[in-house]
Amino acid sequence: MPVFNQSRSRIIRAIFLASFIVLIAQLFHLQVVSREYKRQADINAIFAKKIYPSRGIIFDRKNKAILNNILMYDLMVTPSEVKAIDTNYFCQLMEIDTAEFRKRIRVAIVKNKAFRPSVFEELLTPQKYARMEENMWRFNNGFFLQPRPVRLYPFNAAAHILGYINEVDTSIINRSNGFYESGDYAGRTGLEQYYEKVLRGQKGTELWIKDNFNRLVGHYQNGIFDTTAVAGRNLRTYIDVELQQLAEKLLTNKVGAIVAIEPKTGGILAMASAPDYNPNDLTGSSKQKNYSKMLLDVSTPLYNRAIKGQYPAGSTYKPLGALIGLDEGVITPESGYPCHGAYLECTRPVKCLEKWAGHAADLRLAVAHSCNAFFSSTIRKTIDNPKYHNPRIGLTRWKEYCNAFGYGHKLGVDIPNENGGNIPDTTAYDKEYRGQWNSCTMTGGGLGIGQDKMLVTPLQIANAICIVANKGYYYLPHFVRAIDDENEEDTSLVNKFRKKHDVLTHISDIAYETVISGMQDVTEIGTARGITKIPGINVCAKTGTAQNKRVLDKKVVELKDHSLFVCFAPREDPKIAISVIIENGGYGATWAGPMAYLLIEKYLTDSLRADRQKEADRIAAADLMPSYLTREQYKADSTRAYEWFKMTKDSSYIDKYTYEKVEVPFIPEKKSPAPPKKKSDIQYMVIIDDKSSRKKNHSVPS
């Protein structure tokens, strides 16, 4: 019988063969055709470990490091390896309780799996680090300290300039074309942000093989695909860190800003904004706490007033107004104005602080004594220039001049978030007056004396005075002088700062000399003559005092004047140009002027005389913080407490405001110190130049 079935052996072989062909076909599909499995395998088994480069360092003009990197330590835990440790002692060292300990371990397991190390506490304080370091041998099962480079600011200065670094958020990651990954740090403001690409360096990657529990078991292919980290490059800046420290010291307990620029290069020597903060507060273990505290502070210490604060230019505009008038040919150096205390040619009079005859006998005197009538008349002539027969063209021409001086647009300084200020044009007036306006409209509002719709930032004021000092040219104000190992991309980043802008060199030398002489007269016979001189240095300056109002508790309150001062020195070879604004500081020559003088002396002579040192201490000790801030803070805190109560029914915060009935006194009195801060809060301001010098000026013969 079996013989009959011999043919079946062939069928059986065929079945064997067919099955194998099916298997081989599937193998061919998996291994040769499909690329998907190869990719999946790499995702599975290769872990790209990031190697962080050290960030570039920023140096000042004398090559002192304004910021530096130090190592801080994260305490890491690998939950699966934690065994047989003295938890009580551990908690005692870490100042936590055992419940918190367990919670953190649980969080670590949930977030990162028990087999991989997670952060138990990041950036240990030096005390905790010292304790843990000493006792690490007890906790070697599962715990270790991981070094992490952190920024350090040895001078405790220049917080607003430098900015800070923080973990990247999703929008930064999305914009970076895959450069950043979650957990990376990037500059978030200031130079750290603007020069992020220079400072950050090149991240390195090490490819590691991981196993099914995500444990790293070794280098992939002995590291031939690894890339090494390239350290970030250093920045050399124009900043004079000692000058910066002095500027910040002078602004202690004040609201305002100081900008000092080297006119010949546009290099910013110092830029301070108050209130400010210690940059070291935003590194290290308590950075989050400090940051939230600053966010809730109504005096906004994180706000850089030097580039963002928009103020009326006030009398500091007058040298520019004079130059525009001279270049347009509507006035001459010999032009005067018969001012007797006011400009009365328009329906709204513009008051002048000087009443005595001859204080505006010629341009130089008008600048020295800051005659409002003279400059109101000048801007009217500029707008009604007979050359153009049309105030619209006149106003447009005037705006072009202002823009050339750097007003009305962002300058493009190398720190982000600058504001552009405002220079009004015909559309602004058309809108407000429905096309029915003439040169009197803005003159009456005070455009001729830097008011009306004109708003400028302290940086713009300083830059404009650089143009005056340079007699027509300027470089964009900037901090960075050079980048170490500069490459093409860096060059394109900083090239705009190396370009000379000959914006107003066509104005005649005579015009510049006249205005500069007038500015020198300000310090000798004019509004700023009361400030102690620096021997051997001719300072050219212009004071400014700005009346301001503010809505407080639904009432418009007139607050103490802003104190403005702008100057450059020495006259013969300008090396420094400074603008100072102290909100609610009173007269220009009271606070802002002396501050600028101290800075000039410090910068040009590299030190302060002993009595000047005392003067600096006196100014630093003065508390000019507006009293309304206390009231505003109280309102903000109690409102927040109420919102919190509404949301959570947790009354612990609101109780303080409900039951204790804390009365925060606020006396809305004009002379009490108090300032506005934000653009929206500034209603409008009237500029009245130095009242203090009024009586004294009577004794000066005209």
Residue 52: which of 194, 226, 181, 231 has the closest Cα? 231
CB of 4 to another protein, least distance (A): 7
CB of 114 to another protein, least distance (A): 16
Cβ distance to another protein smaller for residue 41 or 230: 41
At 685, phi and psi to the nearest 5? Answer: -135, 150
CB of 209 to another protein, least distance (A): 6
Cβ distance to another protein smaller for residue 220 or 565: 220
Contact 284, 310 (CB under 8 A): no
At 606, phi and psi to the nearest 5? Answer: 70, 5
CB of 48 to another protein, least distance (A): 14
Residues 2 to 21 in contact with another protein, rule: CB under 8 A: 2, 4-6, 8-9, 12-13, 15-17, 19-20
CB of 214 to another protein, least distance (A): 10
Residues 6+ apart with CB under 8 A from 479: 161, 191, 235, 237, 238, 239, 267, 268, 271, 413, 414, 415
Cβ distance to another protein smaller for residue 22 or 295: 22
Residues 188 to 247 in contact with another protein, rule: CB under 8 A: 209-213, 217-218, 220-221
Give the orientation angle of helix 318-328 with respect to helix 372-383, to 10 degrees. 40
Cβ distance to another protein smaller for residue 28 or 89: 28
Residues 25 to 54 in contact with another protein, rule: CB under 8 A: 26-28, 30-32, 34, 36-38, 40-42, 44-46
CB of 211 to another protein, least distance (A): 4
CB of 46 to another protein, least distance (A): 7
Cβ distance to another protein smaller for residue 21 or 296: 21
Question: What's the sign of the alpha-carbon dihedral 454, 316, 577, 469?
Answer: positive
Show the tokens assigned to 35. 């690329």
Cβ distance to another protein smaller for residue 47 or 194: 47
Strands 118-121 and 65-77: antiparallel
Show the tokens assigned to 110. 């949930």
CB of 14 to another protein, least distance (A): 11
Measured CA angle at 533 (ends 532, 534), to 5 deg: 125
Cβ distance to another protein smaller for residue 40 or 88: 40
User: For 663, how many CA atoms within 13 A lie in the half-sphere containing its CB?
Assistant: 3
Which residues sit opposite 141 in a β-bridge?
none
User: SS3 breakdown of the chain: % helix, strand, coil, rounded to 5?
Assistant: 40, 20, 40
Q: How far apart are CA 425 and CA 430, in angstroms?
A: 9
Cβ distance to another protein smaller for residue 114 or 537: 114
Q: Is 136 in the site for another protein (CB under 8 A)?
A: no
The residue whose two tokens read 């153009």 is: 388
Cβ distance to another protein smaller for residue 4 or 659: 4
CB of 17 to another protein, least distance (A): 7
Amino acid (one-letter) located at 543: T
Tally of CB atoms within 10 A around 378: 27
CB of 11 to another protein, least distance (A): 8
Cβ distance to another protein smaller for residue 70 or 217: 217
Question: What's the sign of the alpha-carbon dihedral 378, 382, 386, 391?
Answer: negative
SS3 91: helix
Binding site for another protein (CB under 8 A): 1-2, 4-6, 8-9, 12-13, 15-17, 19-20, 22-24, 26-28, 30-32, 34, 36-38, 40-42, 44-46, 209-213, 217-218, 220-221
